[in-house]
Chains A and B, each alone.
Chain A
Amino acid sequence: MPVYGAMQIYLPIAEMSVDAFLLLGLGATVGFLSGVFGVGGGFLLTPLLLFIGVPSPIAVASQANQLVASSVSGVLAQWRRGNVDHQIGAVMIAGGVVGAVAGVWLFGVLRSLGQIDLVISLCYVLFLGVIGGMMLVESLRAILKRRRNPLQRAKLHQHMWIHGLPLKMRFRKSKLYISALVPAAIGLFIGLLAAIMGVGGGFLMIPAMIYLLGMPTQTVVGTSLFQIIFVTATVTVLQAVQNQTVDGVLAALLLAGGVVGAQFGARAGQRLRGEQLRALLAVLVLAVCAKLLIDLFAPPPDVFSFDYGAR
């Protein structure tokens, strides 16, 4: 880390000194982006923290609680419009908490095996690559004026294997009569992702809720935020208690920057909607993915080093 006589601050859990303004700036940048794109920003913040040298277990665990803050403010607006389906949300939270517990346990096991850095990087490369690629193809098609595949939802009475599952429940708000196992399974997977990658998972959850559950789009965003709050809160507490990987100083600095950045981002985003915005996000996601991929294969500057951090 180059030092310009800036305000160095010691991160007690990450066991490193970082320029406080760098972290504030990082938080502000990601906050700005999440304000523009309306996404949690978790899947950009973790790689950026890795790039400045924060150990990946600490980066992942510390930024999960960022999502609690941004999701709370997001869900309040949706709540007022009556766009939160508490019933489905509760089932998804139940699944999500189980997933979070399993994920944090798996996180601990991988860490003791010394493989957690690799797994986190691989997961990020995979998800960023697939999602960035899909978004880029989609937006390029739209920009080139080719018709977008409408990707219609399944017909209302079309029978899929999902509808044969037991434990059917009636969800009044979303007007659904489906097996509770499906939302619980989606929640479980999102809980695992939140524990291992530190992301809220809205980018996967929202399509899954629309196309697998058949939820009306009006309630999807609010309900997914509702679920993210509880799952990321669970993950944060479990990571702190079980793996001791939550760095309060790091989280606080990122949060402070994030709150300011999000205000400006939301304003900028209103002017910038549309396909260009989507293409921009796709390029950004792919660039971060490429950098992670290069770091995976590039020989480290100090070949003979051991990870003392793993306890």
Chain B
Amino acid sequence: MESQDERSPAPREPEKAGAETDSAAKGRTEHGRVFLIVVDETPEYEKALRFAARRARRTQGRVALLHVMPPLDFQNFGAVQDLMANERRQTAERLLQRVAAKAQEIAGSMPIIYLREGSPAEQLLKLIAEEPQISVLVLGGATGREGPGPLVAQLTGRMIGKLRIPITIVPGHIPDADIDAVT
């Protein structure tokens, strides 16, 4: 809905003094880039967060956080299923609140928050397709024996053809100081 409005050819007025803070408040960033990171339970996302938030601060951009909740299994009893949905939502909100506070601390601006449900890679692609303002995807790569993690593996593999924007991958073993040096 919102993106529909943005695309409609509204008459553009010459920018006034307060226009920039105004559009930022609406979640639009005409001037800065939006760095999207995926928040999950892995430790790597913190490296991606640090990179994205510092880049956002440097370029007057913003950080966007996406968390994808796992789909709920069908339960015989509706009351049980409702409780599961509630608790899943609470857990997701708590996680996002914590990460958003950290993102704001580093980037100096409020992050944009997206909460979706389903398969992470699918939802990520859908979000990027829906939101033209997202300009860079930053992912943390696990450095264990099991590979870089499912998202990085999928998005650098077969799914790369579906991406509209560049990806930055931050390896999980890089110390914070080294990330700070290149941002």
Which residues of A come within 8 Å of B, CB atoms? 36-39, 81-82, 131, 134-135, 138-139, 142, 148-153, 203, 206-207, 210, 216-218, 220-221, 269, 273, 275, 277-278, 281
Contact = CB atoms under 8 A, between A and B. Distances in A.
Interface residues of B, number: 16
Interface of B: 41, 70, 73-80, 82-84, 87-88, 91
Given A216-B87, A217-B88, A218-B91, A281 B76 contact: yes
Contacts of A134: 77
A148 B82 CA distance: 9
Contact of A273 (B41, B74, B87): B74
A202 B82 CA distance: 17
Contacts of A82: 41
A139 B73 CA distance: 17
B82 A150 contact: yes
A242 B142 CA distance: 50
A175 to B, nearest CB: 12
A207 B78 contact: no
Contact of B79 (A131, A148, A277): A148
B77 to A, nearest CB: 6
A269 B76 contact: no
Contact of A142 (B74, B76, B78, B80): B78
A275 B78 contact: yes
A138 B79 contact: yes
B78 A218 contact: no
A135 B77 contact: yes
Nearest to A81: B70
17 contacts: A37-B76, A38-B74, A135-B76, A138-B77, A138-B79, A139-B78, A142-B78, A148-B78, A152-B83, A217-B84, A217-B87, A218-B87, A218-B91, A220-B84, A221-B73, A269-B74, A278-B76
